[in-house]
Amino acid sequence: MSQDAMTGEELRQFREARGMAQQELAELLNTALSRRYDRNRISRWENSAERIPQGVIVTLRGMAGGAPSGIPAAAAGPASVVVWVNQKGGVGKTTSTVNVAYLLAKAGKRVLVVDCDPQANATIHFGVDPHEREVAKRTLTHVMFGPLPVQEAAMTVCGGLIDLLPCSISLSNADAELTREPNGNLILREKLDEVRNAYDFVMLDCPPNLGQITVSALNAADQVVIPSQTEMLSIMGIPMLLETLSKVQRRVNPRIAILGILPTLHKARRAQDQAMAAELRQLAAANRIRLFDVVRDAPEYAKGVTAGVPGLVINPAAAGADAYHEVAQALLALPNHERADHAAA
């Protein structure tokens, strides 16, 4: 793409390379630029009936400078598999997963997000219809319990920056299926091993329980991040989770490690949140676990769900962005990624 101009054909190539319809591109630009473009405007640009605005060109150039879309062909990996887990629901697991994935992708890393929750929150967060993916038989269920390769089920999202392996309600039967299968809780690890060398990071967004899907994700993991709302019920479940992680490490997956605890949905002015944040610090210190900075509650993250993008796309400086950057930097500092960065320097 030229530095100062873009032809209609270049715009069309940009869009089609990311598997986006004209309306999808319009919605992406509307989110990034707070505009009201529609499919007809994109069509006029592509047909050279109207000049493409400079702000649009700058935005698209920034996206084009990120990681290539789709299953990458160039050398990458081996991926660090990162599991986001807390058996309490509503603690910001999905929000944290997609926003840190976005930061890693913006840093030039190749990222696959795997939606492991039958509620399909990550799938919906990226603007993908779970029912459509179920009808097309292109979900995590079809990968785990059928012959479908990960490459054929994954799709590009977030303007081509991130790959997503979507999920649907059909995964709710997975716990029973995994129990019946010999070594069923290793199926997910086997499937992800097929694409480990295609990515730098694979992010697993887990359901709010410690069932077979979550255990399967832990069996596949290198690193674990524990998002925890600064409230009692969210914190109470962490000791049980730590006990489960210890069993997984002893019995199945000795390489698994806890990257840290991420306090979420924090309201700094509430005395209760301050007290629970202090308790979370004590719990982390007692177990020698890193405690990241708090993610303060902010409207951009809810707006991101509606727009089908991470909240940091809407406002890179949203409250809590510093905490998400801290987690991303901790992942980028893992030994295998440091070596890759130095080799590329």
Full-model pTM: 0.76
Confidence category of residue 15, pLDDT binned at 50, 70, 90:
confident
What mean pLDDT comes out for the span 326-343? 73
Is residue 285 within 8 A of residue 315, CB to CB? The reply is no
Q: How far is CA 324 from the centre of its chain?
A: 12
Q: Is 42 exposed, middle or buried (0-12, 13-18, 19+ CB in 10 A)?
A: buried
Nearest partner of 93 among 318, 256, 211, 265, judged by Cα: 265
What mean pLDDT comes out for the span 175-204? 92
The better pLDDT of the pair 247, 90 is held by 247
* pLDDT tens, residue by residue, 42-61: 999 999 999 888 778 877 76
| pLDDT of 256 over the 80 cut | yes
Annotate 12-28 with b (16+ C-beta within 10 A) or e (fewer). Answer: bebbeebebebebbbbb
Q: What is the percentage of the chain residues whose pLDDT exceeds 70? A: 87
Strand, helix or coil at 258? strand
| pLDDT of 344 over the 50 cut | no
Strand, helix or coil at 87? coil
Q: Which residues face 114 on adjacent strands?
A: 165, 204
What mean pLDDT comes out for the span 94-109? 95
Reply yes or no: is the peptide bond before residue 78 cis, omega within 30 of 0: yes
| Beta strands 80-84; 257-264: pairing state | unpaired
The enclosing H or E element of 115 equals strand 111-115
The enclosing H or E element of 83 equals strand 80-84
Q: What is the pLDDT of residue 77?
A: 57
Length of the chain counted residue by residue:
345
* pLDDT tens, residue by residue, 264-302: 865 666 667 677 778 888 999 999 999 999 888 888 999
The better pLDDT of the pair 307, 342 is held by 307
Q: Which residues face 83 on adjacent strands?
A: 204, 224
Q: Which residues face 224 on adjacent strands?
A: 83, 258
| pLDDT of 75 over the 50 cut | no
* Token pair belonging to 295: 């993610």
Is residue 135 within 8 A of residue 141, CB to CB? The reply is no
Radius of gyration of the chain (CA): 20
* Token pair belonging to 117: 């929750």
The enclosing H or E element of 239 equals helix 238-251
What mean pLDDT comes out for the span 206-228? 94
